[in-house]
Chain A
Amino acid sequence: MIFVERQKISAWATLDLAGPQLSSLPPSLLADSDPWGASLAPTPDGFGGASLAREASRILRVGCPSHNCGGRCLLKLHIENGVIVRIDTDDASADTMPKAVEPAGESRSDYQICADIAGRLNLREAFTEGRSERDWVDVALSSYRKSYPRLPSLREFETSNAGVHKVAVTKPAIAFEDFRRDPGRFPLSTPSGKIEIFSSALHALGNASEIPAVPKYIQEWESPFGAEARKYPLQVVGHHTLARVHSTMNGVDWLEEAFPHRVFVNQVDAAARSLANGDEVRVFNGRGELTIRCRVTRRIMPGVVAIPQGAWWAPTDTGLDRGGSVNVLTSERWTPLAFGNAQHTVMAEVVKA
């Protein structure tokens, strides 16, 4: 099941909130892969193809038949030169929640999946450090309580059945209250200690075109005003839909009929492309293409289309995604300063399928 050339592996759970290696990685890098490329064509076991192992360094999400399913798949393999150097998950809270039903079939928590994979590599003990899921929650909570002692312990949480720790709001919150009252005594954490319109720290980065030192308009990398708009004239937004939590709950019939997976297209754009409500359409750009039915609506601006994110990737042999996963259109170029996902900076074209 695991492709690995040598048993040179170290693995550990990263729930302790202190894992500097993981926390130093921006979220967009966690999916550092080419989801529609041939190199990741799915294999029968749901993993990537053989060429994956030749990649110098990547992090692969596993534990789900579609590793392109979005942010809810929290199980990751870290691979360097074809060797898994680390397995991690940051989701081990299921064990502390009240159980409504027994797990169906072979379903299990991310942590159990990770531990079982580690077990197949004879590394269960190294991964779990002998801790159960509850133990890891206890470790995380205890660590947090060092900086926030008013938080109840896990045992107190369990016996009180409080679920949520509430802190009473006794006075209105005022932004930078101390600073505004006495800026000399309570300076801000900026270099000048003041609110900075011109940021010397940003100026020092020397990337004025992408990170200006003063607030100003910057044309996006992909924009209706750029040359790319001639080929791909429509902006794509991958909004959260009410039917799913990212990819979780995809495929539940009661939810899919309530909110069918559709690309939302304004009447003006639909008319220009001879699209009728409900037509099967192809949405594509230089990175990928998908098919999906369209909802012609006036509730979106002309020039913009929306594809709810989180739909499960279902590629054909040529890479065309019939699942309607907006991820095949998005760039993995991260934002210059915060290293965040720029998943709404996307241009594409829509045609009748």
Chain B
Amino acid sequence: MSQYAFFVNSDACSGCKTCQVACKDRNNLEAGLHWRRVYEVTAGVWQKKGEAWTSTVAAYNLSVACHHCLEPVCGKQCSVDAIWKRPDGIVLIDQARCTKCNKCRADCPYEAIRYDAATNTVSKCDFCLDLIESGQPPACVSACPNRALDFGELDDLKRRYGTLDRVFPLEDPVVSRPALVIRPHRHAALVQSREPEVANWEEL
């Protein structure tokens, strides 16, 4: 079976959000509707030593969209089968069938499914299906100025970039088995050991 997947290199991500804006531009999404978004993770403290401040603060960014999970739990409770998985692994939502029950939004461990004010239903990343089918990368991937995003067959990405599919603040992959490969930031272990928090909730 084939499975499309995203790769994100958190170590190369500067948090510029070009991916997010390119996604909105390509898919014509209104302000407030984020199919792709970027976590700002911070940790550490400031301490005064004499007159000087010292800090253990560290941070990283993590760009995420829908992970097109191998076991898409978002669709499990959908009573009208509006969410389905294609043979190439891409998970899609049929807005025409949506009954606005919002169970998928509650079930997705990654908050990838968003309220869509334009249709009063829900929507999410569709992997830029039309671009994929014409042999081009998704808009977020081609827009990244730091080349921090990539896409492809999950097995290929794993061979090239490793098998990590979880870093703070993402949920335990056991829930839905996300099709995601992460290269963590070089300070990820340090950050995660210092009570990390998402610092930009209002932007997500």
A residues near B (Cβ < 8 Å) are: 242, 253-260, 266-268, 278, 297-299, 301-303
List B residues 17-39 near A (Cβ within 8 Å): 17, 20-21, 24-25, 31-32
Asked whether A259 lies within 8 Å of B21 as measured between CB atoms, the reply is no
Add 17 more A-B contacts to A260-B202, A299-B42, A303-B53 (CB < 8 A): A242-B17, A253-B31, A256-B31, A257-B32, A258-B21, A259-B17, A268-B46, A278-B202, A297-B42, A297-B199, A298-B46, A298-B57, A299-B57, A299-B59, A301-B46, A302-B48, A302-B53
Answer yes or no: B173 CB below 8 A from chain A CBs.
no
Instruction: A326 to B202: give the CA distance in the assembly, Å.
Output: 22
Q: How far is the CA of A267 from the CA of B48 in the complex (A)?
A: 13
- How close is B203's CB to chain A, nearest CB, in angstroms? 6
Write out the residue numbers on chain A whose beta carbons fall within 8 Å of the beta carbon of B43. 298
Give the docked Cα–Cα distance between A151 and B109 (Å). Answer: 57
Q: Provide the bound-state CA to CA distance between A255 and B16, in Å.
A: 10
Q: Which residues from chain A contact B129 at a C-beta distance below 8 Å?
A: none
Identify which of A253, A257, A267 gathers the most chain B CB atoms within 10 Å of its CB.
Answer: A257
**Known A242-B17, A299-B57; contact A260-B42, beta-carbon cutoff 8 A:** no
Residues from chain A with a CB closer than 8 A to the CB of B21 are 254-255, 258
Q: Bound state CA distance, A266 and B46, in angstroms?
A: 9
Cα–Cα, bound, A303→B48 (Å): 12
Q: List residues of chain B with CB under 8 Å of any chain A CB.
A: 15-17, 20-21, 24-25, 31-32, 42-46, 48, 53, 55, 57, 59, 199, 202-203
Whether B42 contacts A242 by the Cβ 8 Å rule is: no
**Bound complex: CA of A268 vs CA of B54, how far in Å?**
13
Which residues of A sit under 8 angstroms from B17, Cβ to Cβ? Answer: 242, 258-259
**Cβ contact of B31, chosen from A254, A267, A278, A303, cutoff 8 A:** A254
**10 shortest interchain CB distances as A-B pairs:** A253-B31, A258-B17, A298-B57, A257-B31, A254-B21, A254-B24, A302-B46, A298-B42, A302-B53, A242-B16
Identify 11 residue pairs between A and B in the complex whose beta-carbon atoms are under 8 Å apart, listed by A's number: A242-B16, A242-B17, A254-B24, A259-B17, A259-B203, A268-B46, A298-B46, A299-B42, A301-B46, A302-B48, A302-B53
Q: Which residues of B contact A259 (CB under 8 A)?
A: 17, 203
Given contact pairs A258-B203, A260-B202, A260-B203, A298 touches B16 in the complex (Cβ within 8 A): no
In angstroms, how far is the closest chain A Cβ from the Cβ of B166?
A: 24
Specify which chain A residues have a CB less than 8 angstroms from the CB of B55 in the assembled complex: 298, 301
The residue in chain A whose Cβ has the minimal distance to the Cβ of B197 is A298
Residue from B15, B32, B57, B59 having most chain A Cβ neighbours under 10 A: B57
When distances are taken between beta carbons in the complex, the residues of chain A under 8 Å from B42 are 297-299
The reply to whether B45 and A301 form a contact with Cβ atoms under 8 Å apart is no
A298–B44 CB distance below 8 A:
yes
Closest chain-B Cβ to A244's Cβ sits at a distance in Å of 13
A94 to chain B, nearest CB (A): 22
Interfacial chain A residues near B45, Cβ < 8 Å: 298
CB neighbours of B57 from chain A (8 A):
298-299
In the bound complex, what is the Cα–Cα distance between A186 and B53 (angstroms)?
A: 46
In whole Å, how far is A206's beta carbon from the nearest beta carbon of chain B? 34
Chain A residues near B32: list those with CB within 8 A.
Answer: 257
Question: Which residues of A sit under 8 angstroms from B15, Cβ to Cβ?
Answer: 242
Q: How far is the CA of A297 from the CA of B43 in the complex (A)?
A: 10
**A253: which B residues are within 8 A, CB to CB?**
31
Q: With A and B bound together, what is the CA distance between A299 and B199 in angstroms?
A: 9
The smallest C-beta distance from B55 to any residue of chain A, in angstroms, reads 8
For B46, list chain A residues within 8 Å (CB): 266-268, 298, 301-302
In the assembled complex, the CB of B202 is this many whole angstroms from the nearest CB of chain A, namely: 6
Closest to A293 in B: B202
CA of A56 to CA of B155 in the docked complex: distance in angstroms? Answer: 73
Q: Nearest A residue to B46 by beta-carbon distance?
A: A302
Name the CB-closest residue of A to B59: A299
Q: Could you say which residues of chain A place their CB within 8 Å of the CB of B20? A: 258
On chain B, the residues within 8 Å of A299 by CB distance are 42, 57, 59, 199
Bound: A37/B184 CA distance, A: 51
In the complex formed, the residue of B with least CB distance to A278 is B202
Name the distance in Å between A215's Cβ and chain B's nearest Cβ: 22
* Nearest neighbor of B201 in chain A, beta-carbon distance: A277
Given known contacts A298-B42, A298-B57, A299-B42, is B16 in contact with A257 (CB within 8 Å)? no
Contact between A301 and B203 (Cβ–Cβ < 8 Å)? no
Q: Please, how many angstroms separate the alpha-carbon atoms of A295 and B55 in the complex? A: 19
**What is the chain B residue whose CB lies nearest that of A298?**
B57
List of B residues within 8 angstroms of A303 by Cβ: 53
- Quick one: closest B residue to A242, CB to CB? B16
Write out the residue numbers on chain B whose beta carbons fall within 8 Å of the beta carbon of A257: 31-32, 203
Residue from B15, B42, B43, B46 whose CB has the most chain A CB atoms within 10 Å: B46
